[in-house]
């Protein structure tokens, strides 16, 4: 597999190195506000186009998107750049990659930041059960859209109805308006239309097929809890799909496992795309957390 990524060494020797991982239907461009802010403060950065996006490989076999394989790919990038310690900052569905132990990870120190709530490590994914729980708890099926993205013709249908899909993914019923994505809209549109949806939809297909659950079960039981390291959770108050309370309900978890002195939580008055909606607030919150350890 080939990965396209942006690399910047820390300004000072021994400075913090950040690995920024974007989520579904995005690219490394999603972090451009935060990259500018963090660069100015001397952090080192690795910001890849994740598998299936931008300049990286775009396999259409869902099995290529198993989390253990992608975690190992990210480890290979760190090894290639001679990085011994990294702080993982993930958004959306790829938040969970931050706490999956890659192979041969001795000597690699990870701290973890989730922008939106990841499912617990090793959690079994049952789409019907998740939707039944959230419909009972919140009145709607939080993961109802997963059925469409998992369909064999999802890429074809999405490509044929791109403008409609864009308006659904970036809705106007948050604080911000669709017009607030300009100039982001032009860049996002170019990236999505160039690559299409066939490869990105595999992130859903590997989950709904059960292959990711099987992959997650390979994680040793003693490593399935969230690790005791600095953790930041950036939750949102207006996201209809990925708020912490929704994720916990979907997986039938009564209480958040993200507790303790090592955990920092901040709720943003934003929707799903908080890096665009609240760029300064998100950047400042990340910097404050990074300076705390």
pLDDT attached to residue 283: 97
How far apart (Å, rounded) are the C-alpha atoms in residues 133 and 161? Answer: 31
Of the chain, the end-to-end C-alpha distance in Å amounts to 34
pLDDT in tens, the chain (293 residues): 999 999 999 999 989 999 999 988 778 999 999 999 999 999 999 999 999 999 999 999 999 999 889 988 998 999 999 998 889 898 887 767 665 554 433 334 456 567 666 666 666 789 999 999 999 999 999 999 899 889 988 888 888 887 777 777 766 555 444 444 445 666 667 776 777 888 999 999 999 998 988 888 877 776 666 667 888 899 988 888 889 999 999 999 998 888 889 889 999 998 888 898 899 999 999 999 999 98
Report the run of H or E that residue 219 belongs to, with start and end.
none
- In this structure, how many other beta carbons lie within 10 angstroms of the beta carbon of residue 2? 10
Six-digit token pair at 184?
A: 């982001």
| Domain hosting residue 207, numbered range | 5-291
pTM, two decimal places? 0.88
In this structure, what CATH number is given to the domain that contains residue 181? 3.40.50.1820
Question: How many structural domains comprise the chain?
Answer: 1
Q: Residue 139, by phi and psi: left (phi above 0), alpha (psi -120 to 50) or beta?
A: left
Return the sign of the alpha-carbon dihedral for residues 188, 209, 225, 131.
positive
pLDDT attached to residue 10: 97
3-state secondary structure 32-80: HHHHHHHHHCCCEEEEECCCCCCCCCCCCCHHHHCHHHHHHHHHHHHHH
Report the candidate in 38, 43, 54, 41 with the shortest Cα–Cα distance to residue 3: 54
| Total H helices, total E strands in the chain | 12, 7
Contacts of 75 (CB under 8 A, 6+ apart): 102, 103, 104, 105, 108
């Amino acid at each position: 597999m080939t990965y396209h990524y942006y690399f910047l060494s820390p300004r000072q020797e021994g400075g913090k190195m950040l690995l920024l991982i974007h989520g579904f239907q995005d690219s490394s461009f999603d972090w451009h506000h935060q990259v500018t802010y963090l660069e100015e403060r001397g952090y080192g950065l690795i910001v890849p186009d994740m598998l299936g996006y931008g300049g990286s490989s775009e396999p259409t076999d869902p099995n290529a998107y198993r989390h253990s394989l992608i975690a190992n790919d990210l480890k290979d990038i760190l090894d290639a750049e001679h990085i011994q310690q990294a702080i993982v900052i993930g958004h959306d569905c790829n938040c969970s990659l931050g706490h999956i132990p890659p192979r041969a990870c001795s000597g690699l120190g990870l701290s973890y930041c989730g922008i939106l709530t990841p499912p617990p490590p090793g959690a079994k994914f049952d789409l019907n059960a998740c939707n039944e729980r959230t419909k009972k708890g919140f009145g709607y099926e939080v993961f109802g859209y997963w059925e469409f993205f998992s369909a064999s013709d999802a890429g074809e249908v999405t490509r044929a109805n791109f403008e409609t899909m864009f308006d659904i993914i970036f809705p106007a019923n948050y604080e911000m308006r669709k017009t607030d994505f300009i100039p982001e809209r032009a860049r996002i549109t170019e990236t999505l239309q160039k690559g299409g949806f066939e490869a990105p939809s595999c992130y859903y297909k590997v989950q709904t097929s059960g292959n990711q659950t099987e992959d997650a079960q390979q994680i040793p039981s003693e490593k399935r809890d969230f690790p005791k390291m600095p953790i930041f959770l950036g939750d949102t108050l207006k996201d209809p799909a990925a708020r912490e309370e929704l994720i916990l309900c979907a997986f039938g978890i009564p209480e958040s496992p993200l507790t303790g002195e090592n955990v920092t939580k901040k709720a943003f008055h934003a929707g799903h795309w908080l890096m665009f909606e609240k760029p300064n607030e998100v950047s400042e919150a990340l910097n404050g957390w990074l300076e705390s350890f």
